[in-house]
Structure 1
Amino acid sequence: MNNFTIFSSFFQGKALLFLERIIDLALEEDGQDLTSNAVFSQESNAQAVILAKESCIIAGLPISELILARLPGSTEVSFLATEGIRAEPGQRIISIEGSTRKILKAERIILNLLSRLSGIATHTDLYCQKLKGTGVRLLDTRKTSPGLRYPEKYAVLLGGGENHRLNLENMLMLKDNHIDQCGSITKAVKALRQTYSPCPDIEVECRTPQDVEEAVKTKVQRIMLDNMSMKQLEKSLSLIPSNIESEISGCITLDNIEKIASLKPDFVSSGALTHSAKHIDMSMKIEV
C-alpha cells in the first residue's frame, strides 16, 4: 500500500467529513483576501512552489488539493515529493499553477497544515527509530489539537506509529477517574459487561501492581501501566498473562523509551507524538 493510498484509506466517512469541515473553518477564519483581490484580477495566473526549509517526513500533501478545491478559480497541483518520505532542506515538495487569487488565499492554510502534520510525522519517526528491532509497537493518544484529531493521527501513521482509539466510541477504556468514581476496577468492568452484550474489548488503566492483579482477575483484554516506576513496571508486567495485552504509558520520552521497551511490553503509548511535535518550517514562493 503506497502512502497516497494510506491517505485515501484513512480519510473516508467520518474522517473525511471532519477534514473538510476543518478546511472550511480555516478558510472562513482567514476571511476575504482584500489585498490579493485588489492587486490581482480574476484572470491573473501564477506558478507557486512550496519548499521544506528543514529535513522532515512529509505529511499532508493531498490536503493541499482539498483546500484548493474549496475555492473558486482553476489550479493544477503537482506533487514533487512523496507522502511519508523524508524531504531535505530546500526541497520543493508541491507546485501549484493557476489563479493567483486562489493560490494566495490558500497559502497560509496549506502551509499551516503541512507544517503541523509533517512535524508530527517527523517526531513520531524519531520514536520509531528508538524502537527498531524491539518488537514493541508505538501508539499515539487522544492528546491532539481540538478539531485536528484525524489529520494528526494520520500523521502519526506516516511517521511509523499506530493509532490508539480515534475517539471515545472506538473502544472501552477504564481510566483512573472511572475507577475511582466507581469504587474499584472490578465494579467498573462489571458495569461495562452488564451494559454491553456482546461486550467489546476492555482496556484498564492501572497505577500500581495491586491494580494489575485486580485487572487480571477480571479477564480484560489489555492492561495499561500508567506513570509507574521501572520497578513497578517490571513487577506489573510479570503479573500479566500472555493472553492479556500490555501497554506502558505516561512520561514516555526519547530519552527513556529504549529503557521502557527493554521491558518488552506489547505497546508503548505517548501523547508527546502529537502534543510535543514542533512545526516544520515551510514556505511558498511565487515563481516569476
Structure 2
Amino acid sequence: MISEAQFQNELNTLIANAIREDLGSGDYSSLACIPADAQGKAKLLVKEDGIIAGVAFAKLIFEYVDPKMQIETFIEDGTAVKKGDVVFHVSGSSQSILKSERVVLNTMQRMSAIATKTNSFVQLLKGTNTKILDTRKTTPGFRVAEKWAVKIGGGENHRFALYDMIMLKDNHIDFAGGITLAIAKTQAYLKENNLDLKIIVEARNLVEIQEILKSEGVHRILIDNFNYEDTKAAVALIGDKCQTESSGNINEDTMRFYAECGVNYISSGALTHSVYNMDLSLKAI
C-alpha cells in the first residue's frame, strides 16, 4: 500500500484541484452580494440514514480555503447517522464558507455513500474470516477519498494503484506467454529494479491454480469468476501456501456463500463504482 506521505500528497492534490475547478477566477455570486468582512455559521445536515464519512476530509478542505474557519464536530467519521442529525458546525468568513460548500458536500456525499455500502457488505460477512476489499474501479482524480471511505466503512484497501502491488491478470498472463513465464519475468524484474512488491496472480480455473502453486513467492491467488464448488476446491488446493481472494460478479446475494467457501478476501468494484450519493446539505444558521 502507499505510504502515509503519499496518502497525504494525494489528498492535498485532490483538494487543490477540486477548489481550482470550482472557484476558478472567483466566486462572483458571493463577491457580488456578501461583504468581505461578513461572518457566518453553517451546519452539516444529514438528510438520509447511513454511515457518515468525510468529516476529517471536510476539515482539510475548510483549512485549505481559509485556515481561520472554525469547525465544531458532533459526529465523527464511521458513525451511523439518521435523517435530521447535525454532523458539525462551521463558522468564519461567510465568503469562505460558500467557497468551500460544494467541494465539501460533493466529497462527503460520495464518501458517505461508499462507507454505507461498505459497511453493509461488512455486516454480510460477519462471523466469517473473510474481509472485503475495494478495487481500482474508482472515480478518476477521487480515488484517495473513495478508498479512505472504504476504510471508514470497515473494509480494507486493495492496492492503491499500479505501482504499489503486482497483479498479474489474464491479459498480463496471455501477453507474457503463460502463468509460469509471467511470474518468473515479474520476479526477475522486481529483483533487477530492487522493488519489494507483493505479487497477486489471477486464476481462471483450477488447472491455472495448480500451475500458479508450482511457483514460489506468490502472495495471493485471485480466484476469478469461480462458482461455489470450484471456489471450495481452489481453497483446498491452495491451503496455507498463500492468501486467497474471490472476485467477479459477486453481489449482496452471493457474497456470504463465497465467504463460507473459506477465502481470505472478497474484492468488489461495486463499493466505489455503483453507489448513490448520500443526501447531505450545508445550511446557514
Structure-2-length-normalised TM-score: 0.93
Q: CA deviation at 1:11?
A: 8.7
Which structure 2 segments of 5+ residues have no match? none
Q: Could you list the per-position Cα deviations for residues 103-125 of structure 1 after superposition, in whole angstroms to 9, with x for gaps in the alignment? A: 11111110010001011100000
Alignment-derived partner of residue 22 in structure 1:
14
Q: Which runs of 4+ in 1 moved over 6 A?
A: none
Alignment-derived partner of residue 269 in structure 1:
267
AA partner of residue 264 (structure 2): D
Q: 1:61 aligns with which of 45, 55, 65?
A: 55
C-alpha distance in 1, partners of 2:221/2:67?
Answer: 53
Q: 1:281 aligns with which of 249, 254, 279?
A: 279
C-alpha distance in 2, partners of 1:282/1:179?
Answer: 45
Do the aligned partners of 2:54 and 2:111 also contact (CA within 8 Å) in 1? yes
Q: 1:208 aligns with which of 201, 205, 209?
A: 205
Q: Could you list the per-position Cα deviations for residues 26-71 of structure 1 after superposition, in whole angstroms to 9, with x for gaps in the alignment? A: 1111132111111110111111101111111111112222212222
- DSSP-derived class of the 1:247 partner: strand
AA partner of residue 90 (structure 2): I
AA partner of residue 262 (structure 1): E
Equivalent positions of 1:112-131 (< 5 A) are 112-131=106-125
Q: Could you list the per-position Cα deviations for residues 241-262 of structure 1 after superposition, in whole angstroms to 9, with x for gaps in the alignment? A: 3121111011111111011111
Equivalent positions of 1:211-230 (< 5 A) are 211-219=208-216, 220-230=218-228
Aligned residues: 278
Q: CA deviation at 1:238?
A: 2.4
Q: Name the stretch that deviates more: 258-267 or 223-232.
A: 223-232
Equivalent positions of 1:28-107 (< 5 A) are 28-31=20-23, 32-72=26-66, 74-107=68-101
Which structure 1 segments of 5+ residues have no match? 1-9
Q: 1:190 aligns with which of 170, 180, 184?
A: 184
Q: CA deviation at 1:164?
A: 0.9
Q: CA deviation at 1:230?
A: 2.3
AA partner of residue 284 (structure 1): L
Alignment-derived partner of residue 5 in structure 1:
none
Q: 2:154 aligns with which of 160, 182, 192?
A: 160
C-alpha distance in 1, partners of 2:161/2:145?
Answer: 13
Equivalent positions of 1:161-176 (< 5 A) are 161-176=155-170
AA partner of residue 230 (structure 1): Y
Alignment-derived partner of residue 132 in structure 2:
138
Q: CA deviation at 1:72?
A: 4.4
Structure-1-length-normalised TM-score: 0.92
Q: CA deviation at 1:211?
A: 0.8
Do the aligned partners of 1:73 and 1:99 also contact (CA within 8 Å) in 2? no
Cα 1:117–1:214, aligned 2, differ >3 Å: closer, same or farther?
Answer: same
Do the aligned partners of 1:140 and 1:164 also contact (CA within 8 Å) in 2? yes
- DSSP-derived class of the 1:150 partner: helix
Percent of residue pairs bearing the same amino acid type: 37
Q: CA deviation at 1:240?
A: 1.1
- DSSP-derived class of the 2:180 partner: helix
C-alpha distance in 2, partners of 1:72/1:130?
Answer: 41
